[in-house]
Structure 1
Amino acid sequence: MALGTLRRDEDDRARLLTSLAQAYVHGVDVDWSVWFEGLGARRVELPTYAFEHQRYWLDAGRGTADAVGLGLESAGHPLLGAVVVPASQDGVVLTGRLSSYTHPWLADHTIGGSVLLPGTAFVELALRAGDEVGCGLLEELTLEQPLVLSGDRSVAVQVTVEAPDETGRRTVVVHSRPQGGDGAWDRNATGVLAEAAAPPAEVLAVWPPADAQPVPVDGLYERLADRGYGYGPAFRGLTAAWQQGNEVFAELALPDGAEGFGIHPALLDAALHALLLETANTADDENGANGENGENGENPGLRVPFAWTGVRLHAVGASALRVRLSREAGDTVRLAAYDTTGLPVVSVDVLRLQPISTERLAPAAPARDNALFELRWTPVPAPQVAATDILTLDTDCAGLAELIDSGVRPDGVVVAPVEPGGEVHARLGAVLRLIQQWADAPALADSRLLVVTRGSMA
């Protein structure tokens, strides 16, 4: 047997390997170890039987569908999939789909045991919508209804920016509803966008402030978890903190990147965790942890962002921040965040916190695609019969036989409930035999049999 190893216009090494393979399949004993020596190759175990295998296919991506192919514009944002520009009005609608499956990091934010879209995510959605219409200032944003994510169930989100008023301001509204549902949309947040020139860049020259006292952050997230704040790895961004009077300074870092975001919701949310440092062990939070609710069911230990005023985004894509939080009157705070070089990233003139009702955090029941899978008890009107026309029997068939032989034809026969006790199979068998005997009695065709149960429903 002769095989050529040199051919015109063919790679010498590939040609030689092909010739060796041809010789091998024709029965020649080829020493492959010599060929693969020095290439880093190794032997691998083969499956021991036909159905043993290892999966090498990549999982399907979790990204959004191609908006352009649907006649829309791509939003270019991790939380939003498409931009719709209505032909009949000067506005814009941004749409997206959220779930703990498509955005796993959202499951790391729980309040009172429910996965809650953080208030900082609504800020990010509104700022992205403002970019679409040239409005760089979020004058105000008020959260009206929490958006609760349940399991892998998807929620459709719409961010609507209306036409400008006479001053150039635009109303922005965020709605949501379960994906594929036909119910009403929930209005989660409403606010006002405006055009605004960028203020002079304020540089944070000294960090941390010379007179600020370090505040330990070790164990903070474990203590907060005991009080109803559930922050998973994606939201545990607070790494260091200091305090000076009514001001708190903090260092934040994202475990993952912030690509595609103006300001990542988990990073901005972590800035607010510094406010919880001094209250983590207070009696007020202890009461909240014990479920002592205030008026309207609010838990005084669970406070969440409620109203934002004067939000400006100075830079995008930050993955680490240095934050200065200034406490104002009541549950209000001023926030300024900078990158690690001291340049401004985001600022908030006023942020107001408020207690949240745990009753509002219960996820809505999922819509059912097929009503046949739902158990419903339908009321049935009772027949109007005189008391003298109803007889009562036990489950003994002898009593029914005596009734048939007596010639009495009552309108109704009630099988008395059997007292608890005894073997269930035997009791059911007695009822079954009675029903069979009833069905075999033509004389009782015009009478009605009622079987009464006891304790059959929880």
Structure 2
Amino acid sequence: MALGTLRRDEDDRARLLTSLAQAYVHGVDVDWSVWFEGLGARHVELPTYAFQRRRYWLETGHGSADAVGLGLESAGHPLLGAVVVPASQDGVVLTGRLSSYTHPWLADHTIGGSVLLPGTAFVELALRAGDEVGCGLLEELTLEQPLVLSGDRSVAVQVSVEAPDETGRRTVVVHSRPQGAGETDEPMTQHATGVLVAGAADVPEQGLGVWPPEGAEPVDLADVYERLASRGYGYGPVFRGLRAVWRTGGGEFFAELALPEGTQPPSTAFGMHPALLDAALHAVLLDTGSDELLVPFAWTGVRLHAVGASALRVRLTPGAAGNVAMAAFDEDGAPVFSAEAVTMRAAVAERFSGAATAVRQSLFDVQWISLPPSERRPVEWAELGPDYDLDALVAAGTVPELVVAPVESGGEVHARLGAVLRLVQRFVEAPELVDARLVLATRHAVPVVAGEEPDPVTAAVWGLVRSAQAEHPGRLLIVDVDVDVDVD
């Protein structure tokens, strides 16, 4: 066959193939097997990775710089990159950069549909900062604002430790700010504040003893994380650390925890791996009897006795006002971590969405939220007179569930605030009232509709008591009414 004839046959074949392809994409049913007859063609498997959305190529990443080369000290921590020691003050600042891209394991912690930095990670950050200044006790830590990790967007994190006061205590504060072009002028968001104290970490007085504890009933963990997911807790593999749970008749929980094999970064990179510590609180979530999204809000008396644990045996003891004490040991019974009290608090999932931008772009204000009607039950209560005499109430011998203190409108602001402050201080310090709640009743202290002017005296009382509520969650309640408050 002449070369020209062969080329014409190939051209005709190519034009025919093009025509068939055009017909096929327009919906014509084409029998392709006829086309390939006699050519030795065979079926082969398509490469599946393109359809599994799984990449086999190295990512470029965001890169990192040597902290020492920049005149800083390396933090040596998975969540922190550098340590800055200001020359002008006796303090320290630890910095880092977080995102779901650079720290993919954090994406395994989803609450209400949003990826949040776990509250246990704030504890780890504060403990690492305390280690930098020789403070082994995290006396208290209060979480004020969630840190939402949105997509691949990075946030710059700062953990600041101030100079010690006259008692040796140091304030520790955690801030963040979105990191990117044009965002260096954005204000920092304060997420947590606490107090660090120097001194050796005290060993828990009570160990675990026999394991599992005698008389404790095992808790069914079948589909435990599926059940939690239905309530809004989205825990990925790294955070699914519960292995076994027992409960005693007194309400104590005992739990076995372990990080999944191959977890990155490993537990040895942390003082206490946030995912492992977070799993300890999952045992509490199993028995709340409520569909509320409970998250750790305040930590008290936190000590780290050993570092790098990958498995724990934990005792959780319920306390007053919904707190729970935690003591964690390794598998040999040696103490690892302890907290005198962990306070859980209900969170509103809708407030997490877009929190990273909403906090920066709006002023802080108080919004009214409609609550569903709750089931009524009889409550023992007592009303204080205008002199707020708590001593007389305590001397009576019967402590009610609610102690109501009416706050009169008008008058001199300084005197009224002083009276309320002394009442609150006396109430929270009285051991006899630890199971009671103080209710302060005001009238027109806050505007309900646009244009309404609140009473300046009782409005100041609201500001004072709201601050006190952050330090004593569950102990104080403010009620504003639109009728006269009887103080006689």
Q: Equivalent of 1:207, from 200, 204, 211?
A: 211
Residues 1:143 and 2:152 are matched in the alignment: no
Q: Equivalent of 1:250, from 240, 255, 262?
A: 255
Q: 1:228 to 1:72 in 2, by over 3 A?
A: same
Match of 2:270 in 1: 261
Give the aligned CA root-mean-square deviation in angstroms: 1.8
Structure 1 residue 86: deviation in Å?
0.2
Distance in 1 (CA, whole Å) between partners of 2:356 and 2:127 is 31
Structure 1 residue 196: deviation in Å?
2.0
Distance in 2 (CA, whole Å) between partners of 1:249 and 1:233 is 22
Residues 1:119 and 2:119 are matched in the alignment: yes
Q: 1:63 to 1:343 in 2, by over 3 A?
A: farther
Distance in 2 (CA, whole Å) between partners of 1:90 and 1:212 is 49
Q: Aligned ranges for residues 69-148 of structure 1 at < 5 Å?
A: 69-148=69-148
Match of 1:240 in 2: 244
Residues 1:271 and 2:280 are matched in the alignment: yes
Residues 1:193 and 2:196 are matched in the alignment: yes
Structure 1 residue 178: deviation in Å?
0.5
Residues 1:303 and 2:294 are matched in the alignment: yes
Residues 1:354 and 2:357 are matched in the alignment: no
The AA in structure 1 aligned to 2:214 is A
The AA in structure 1 aligned to 2:192 is A
Match of 1:345 in 2: 336
Distance in 1 (CA, whole Å) between partners of 2:128 and 2:90 is 17
Residue deviations 1:349-399 (CA, integer Å, cap 9, x gap): 0111111122321124769xxxxxxxxxxxxxxxxxxxxxxxxxxxxxxxx
Distance in 2 (CA, whole Å) between partners of 1:336 and 1:365 is 34
Structure 1 residue 73: deviation in Å?
0.3
Distance in 1 (CA, whole Å) between partners of 2:105 and 2:200 is 34
Residue deviations 1:274-308 (CA, integer Å, cap 9, x gap): 002223xx4x31xxxxxxxxxxxxxxx10100010
Residues 1:218 and 2:218 are matched in the alignment: no
SS of the equivalent of 2:122 reads: helix
Residue deviations 1:133-189 (CA, integer Å, cap 9, x gap): 000000000000100000011010000000000011100000001013221110000
Match of 1:289 in 2: none
Structure 1 residue 61: deviation in Å?
6.5
Distance in 2 (CA, whole Å) between partners of 1:116 and 1:57 is 28
The AA in structure 2 aligned to 1:212 is A
Distance in 2 (CA, whole Å) between partners of 1:64 and 1:119 is 26
Contact 2:112 2:350 survives alignment (8 Å): no
Residue deviations 1:50-85 (CA, integer Å, cap 9, x gap): xxxxx9975556774211111100000000000000
Q: 1:57 to 1:303 in 2, by over 3 A?
A: closer
Distance in 1 (CA, whole Å) between partners of 2:78 and 2:65 is 12
Q: Which runs of 5 or more residues in structure 2 are unaligned?
A: 1-54, 359-488
Structure with greater Cα Rg: 1
Q: Normalised by the size of structure 1, how large is the TM-score?
A: 0.62
Contact 2:203 2:305 survives alignment (8 Å): no
Q: 1:61 to 1:341 in 2, by over 3 A?
A: farther
SS of the equivalent of 1:330 reads: helix
Q: Aligned ranges for residues 289-438 of structure 1 at < 5 Å?
A: 301-364=292-355
